Chain A
Amino acid sequence: MLKFIIKRLLWIIPVLFGVAIIVFTILYFSPGDPALQALGDNASPEAIEAFNKDMGLDGTYFDRLVRLVTGLCKGDLGKSYKTRTPVINELVTKFKVTLRISAYAIILGIILGIFFGIISALYQNSIWDTLSTGVALFGISMPMFWQGLMLILLFSVILNWLPPSGYGTWQQMIMPVVALGVNSSATIMRTTRSSMLEVMRQDYIRTAKAKGQKFSTIVIRHALHNAMIPIITVIGLQLSALLAGSIVTEVIFSISGVGRYLVDSMTARDYAAVQGCVILIAFVSAILNLIVDIIYTFIDPRMKTMYESAGVKLNPKKLAKAAEVSNG
């Protein structure tokens, strides 16, 4: 088991380098000169050259790539063109904000999603089922940014209950967390429902009934445990989705997190900062995915056996994931 975790942790390293190379390459071909952007159009050639040297913008594509990769090894994400300070410092503080909101959002999403998913599945075709599947479908159809705006319109503009922007107080947290979490809860709800429906049809549920077990115990001990397997996959995917969703959420609610930093840097063509954000987000997603995989082994003993015997080379979960992606 430990071997599996270590292997997976090591696997993150090439993924990170790969991501760094992809992002760097994409941004390398981006139009616009960062020096001119930072120094203004009238900057002298000497100043530009000094800026480029300072920022590591001189040299060929390969020189810069090598510099990026060696920097990454030391945990250095380069300097922001705008502030000329290391990107990493900026990111650490901002990331705490993003992580906190995302964590609350996913907790909200899990609680609402699993609860309504179970209700829906157990009372299939009842009014509760129709209602919650309907709401969930709206939930996944609403663009997150619009949802945020509608919350502001309702709770800040019309009702005047909650502050429309900022970060810090619990009142300020409510709307961003809800805006982020509702989408996830809708997806988790749909997965929970279909997974529970599938599991409740299984033979082992009938076996449990034949033992004389109570319905509630069957649902919790036998059905939910099995149904959690695909649900965990979706929660894992939602974690990455939340990090991406924080981009629009933070812009709407003026929260100074990684997402907003990314958008600001992109607008200012501060590509070092953009690169740093993307690498950080990829890194965090990879760690979160690893955690999800570890949770898997606790939920599904078959996974554990497989990891322990075959190592990690072929991860059948990936196939399952692909299927999940296709299910939205």
Chain B
Amino acid sequence: MSEKILDIKDLSIRYVTEEETVLAVNGISFSLDKGESIGLVGETGAGKTTTALGIMGLVPDPPGEITSGTIEFEGENLLEYPEKKMREIRGGKISMIFQDPMTSLNPVMPVGDQIREVVLLHNNVSKAEARSRAEEMLEQVGIPKERYDDYPHQFSGGMKQRVIIAIALACSPELLIADEPTTALDVTIQAQVLQLMKALRTQYQTSMILITHDLGVVAKICDKVAVVYAGQIIESGTLKDIYTNKQHPYTIGLFNSLPDIEHETSELKVIKGLVPDPSNLPKGCKFNPRCPYCTPECCENEVEMTALSDTHSVRCIHVGEFDREA
């Protein structure tokens, strides 16, 4: 664990429309070592996907704009890259798996060609060579290569997601961003796809950012976890830090809302309230309207990250002051 492949510092992204300004990402910082994988966990609308699009340089502009921060990839700030250079990165060194396999493939292009396209873009190979690479990728994700010329509508959701994984890994990227890769799939298929991703990631030694709201998925394939709330990381650490020594009230709430088989209870504990409206964020700690331990202090100043150990940080001024199991 030495070489930093990705280092994001203070990234802020907002969407400006006529009616409102949505602060989607508000100063996210995290880093990733080579071969490591991090899970970005949080509710829908927390800004996870926007962060990913920011790394890819795909934040729709307009209405989106990156207002501050740096994204250093292999030591260079991607935000300073011109579009042309960014295109070489996309799909080549950094690739992304999107949430909905049903709509992420071009319906009028054979799936094989969709894999071949990315191979051709980033490798100096002939069409025939690219085709055989694409066929190889299909086989690797468990689809017979005879199906190269089939169209997306002839595949099931799980199979489509496999194709998307094949596209993402076809150029052996350094970094893979997976945005809720299994959310749209059936539970049984989810397990298969996760297994596949894990195996391929080991094989290609790819670093990974996994975006999800599913803590179970994170536990299966990530080394580190960052909990995202209202466009900020509110707690980050290793798997162990977060799963056994969670400190932020929101993280605690997230875990409490999971069904627990060992202690059979009639009701799940839910976090009260809703994710704050990103066009109208609360002052101070973003979690304060929903926090059971909120004090007037929480509503005044921005809360900074506090390091608890080398790996573990939390954004809460009351760390350790409350009973974490409640």
Residues of A within 8 A of B (CB): 202-204, 206-214, 221-222, 225-226, 299-302, 305
Distance between Cα atoms of A210 and B88 in the complex (Å): 10
Of the candidates B95, B109, B122, B154, which one forms a contact with A210 in the assembled complex, judged by CB atoms under 8 Å apart? B95
Of the candidates B89, B107, B154, which one forms a contact with A204 in the assembled complex, judged by CB atoms under 8 Å apart? B107
**Are the CB atoms of B117 and A213 closer together than 8 Å?**
yes
**Are the CB atoms of A210 and B107 closer together than 8 Å?**
no
Whole-angstrom distance from the CB of B250 to the nearest CB of chain A? 29
**Chain B residues closer than 8 Å to A305, beta-carbon distance:** 151, 153-154
Q: Contacts A203-B104, A225-B109 given; indicate if A211 touches B121 (C-beta within 8 A).
A: yes
Whole-angstrom distance from the CB of A184 to the nearest CB of chain B? 24
Interface string of B104-145 (1 = CB under 8 A from A): 111111000010011001100000000000000000000000
Distance between Cα atoms of A128 and B153 in the complex (Å): 36
Q: Contacts A209-B58, A226-B108 given; indicate if A204 touches B103 (C-beta within 8 A).
A: yes
**Are the CB atoms of B96 and A300 closer together than 8 Å?**
no
Q: Which residue from chain B places its CB closest to the CB of A301 in the assembled complex?
A: B151
**Are the CB atoms of A212 and B87 closer together than 8 Å?**
yes
Q: Which residue from chain B places its CB closest to the CB of A228 in the assembled complex?
A: B108
Interface of A is mostly: helix
Whole-angstrom distance from the CB of A208 to the nearest CB of chain B? 7
Q: Which residue from chain B places its CB closest to the CB of A215 in the assembled complex?
A: B83
Q: Which residue from chain B places its CB closest to the CB of A298 in the assembled complex?
A: B108
Distance between Cα atoms of A210 and B29 in the complex (Å): 22
**Chain A residues closer than 8 Å to B167, beta-carbon distance:** 207, 211
**Are the CB atoms of A302 and B104 closer together than 8 Å?**
no
- Is B287 engaged at the interface, CB distance under 8 Å to the other chain? no
Q: Which residue from chain B places its CB closest to the CB of A299 in the assembled complex?
A: B108
Whole-angstrom distance from the CB of B97 to the nearest CB of chain A? 9
Sampled A-B contacts (19; CB under 8 Å):
A204-B103, A204-B107, A207-B105, A207-B164, A207-B167, A209-B58, A210-B56, A211-B117, A211-B118, A212-B89, A212-B92, A213-B91, A213-B117, A225-B108, A226-B106, A299-B108, A301-B108, A302-B107, A302-B153
- Is B90 engaged at the interface, CB distance under 8 Å to the other chain? yes
**Chain B residues closer than 8 Å to A226, beta-carbon distance:** 106-108
**Are the CB atoms of B151 and A212 closer together than 8 Å?**
no
Of the candidates A204, A206, A221, A299, which one forms a contact with B58 in the assembled complex, judged by CB atoms under 8 Å apart? A206
**Are the CB atoms of B153 and A212 closer together than 8 Å?**
no
Distance between Cα atoms of A206 and B168 in the complex (Å): 13
Q: Contacts A203-B103, A207-B164 given; indicate if A214 touches B87 (C-beta within 8 A).
A: yes
**Chain B residues closer than 8 Å to A299, beta-carbon distance:** 108
**Are the CB atoms of B104 and A207 closer together than 8 Å?**
yes
Q: Contacts A225-B109, A302-B153 given; indicate if A212 touches B91 (C-beta within 8 A).
A: yes
Whole-angstrom distance from the CB of B296 to the nearest CB of chain A? 44
- Is B98 engaged at the interface, CB distance under 8 Å to the other chain? yes
Whole-angstrom distance from the CB of B66 to the nearest CB of chain A? 16
- Is B100 engaged at the interface, CB distance under 8 Å to the other chain? yes
Whole-angstrom distance from the CB of A278 to the nearest CB of chain B? 37
Distance between Cα atoms of A226 and B90 in the complex (Å): 23
**Chain B residues closer than 8 Å to A301, beta-carbon distance:** 107-108, 151, 153
Whole-angstrom distance from the CB of A180 to the nearest CB of chain B? 31
**Chain B residues closer than 8 Å to A209, beta-carbon distance:** 58, 90
**Are the CB atoms of B98 and A207 closer together than 8 Å?**
yes
**Are the CB atoms of A211 and B91 closer together than 8 Å?**
yes
**Are the CB atoms of A302 and B122 closer together than 8 Å?**
no
Q: Contacts A301-B151, A305-B153 given; indicate if A210 touches B106 (C-beta within 8 A).
A: no
**Chain A residues closer than 8 Å to B100, beta-carbon distance:** 203
**Chain B residues closer than 8 Å to A222, beta-carbon distance:** 106, 109
Distance between Cα atoms of A225 and B109 in the complex (Å): 9
Q: Which residue from chain A places its CB closest to the CB of B60 in the assembled complex?
A: A206
Whole-angstrom distance from the CB of B195 to the nearest CB of chain A? 23
Whole-angstrom distance from the CB of B278 to the nearest CB of chain A? 21
Distance between Cα atoms of A133 and B106 in the complex (Å): 28
**Chain A residues closer than 8 Å to B90, beta-carbon distance:** 209-212
Of the candidates B95, B96, B107, B121, which one forms a contact with A213 in the assembled complex, judged by CB atoms under 8 Å apart? B121
Interface string of B73-99 (1 = CB under 8 A from A): 000000000000011111110011010
Whole-angstrom distance from the CB of B60 to the nearest CB of chain A? 9
**Chain A residues closer than 8 Å to B109, beta-carbon distance:** 221-222, 225
Distance between Cα atoms of A212 and B122 in the complex (Å): 8
**Chain A residues closer than 8 Å to B86, beta-carbon distance:** 212
Whole-angstrom distance from the CB of A81 to the nearest CB of chain B? 52
Distance between Cα atoms of A21 and B92 in the complex (Å): 64
Q: Which of A204, A211, A214, A305 has the most CB of B within 10 A?
A: A211
Q: Which residue from chain A places its CB closest to the CB of B117 in the assembled complex?
A: A211
Distance between Cα atoms of A206 and B100 in the complex (Å): 12
**Chain A residues closer than 8 Å to B98, beta-carbon distance:** 203, 206-207, 210
Distance between Cα atoms of A225 and B117 in the complex (Å): 16
**Chain B residues closer than 8 Å to A203, beta-carbon distance:** 98, 100, 103-104
Q: Contacts A203-B98, A301-B153, A305-B153 given; indicate if A208 touches B106 (C-beta within 8 A).
A: yes
Distance between Cα atoms of A209 and B108 in the complex (Å): 17
Distance between Cα atoms of A204 and B104 in the complex (Å): 4
Of the candidates A212, A221, A225, which one forms a contact with B88 in the assembled complex, judged by CB atoms under 8 Å apart? A212
- Per CB-CB distance, the 4 closest pairs between chain A and chain B, nearest first, are A212-B91, A212-B90, A211-B91, A203-B103
**Are the CB atoms of A210 and B87 closer together than 8 Å?**
no
Distance between Cα atoms of A214 and B120 in the complex (Å): 12
Whole-angstrom distance from the CB of A215 to the nearest CB of chain B? 8
Whole-angstrom distance from the CB of A31 to the nearest CB of chain B? 54
**Chain B residues closer than 8 Å to A208, beta-carbon distance:** 106, 117
**Are the CB atoms of A302 and B151 closer together than 8 Å?**
yes
Q: Which of A207, A213, A305 has the most CB of B within 10 A?
A: A207
Distance between Cα atoms of A51 and B18 in the complex (Å): 75
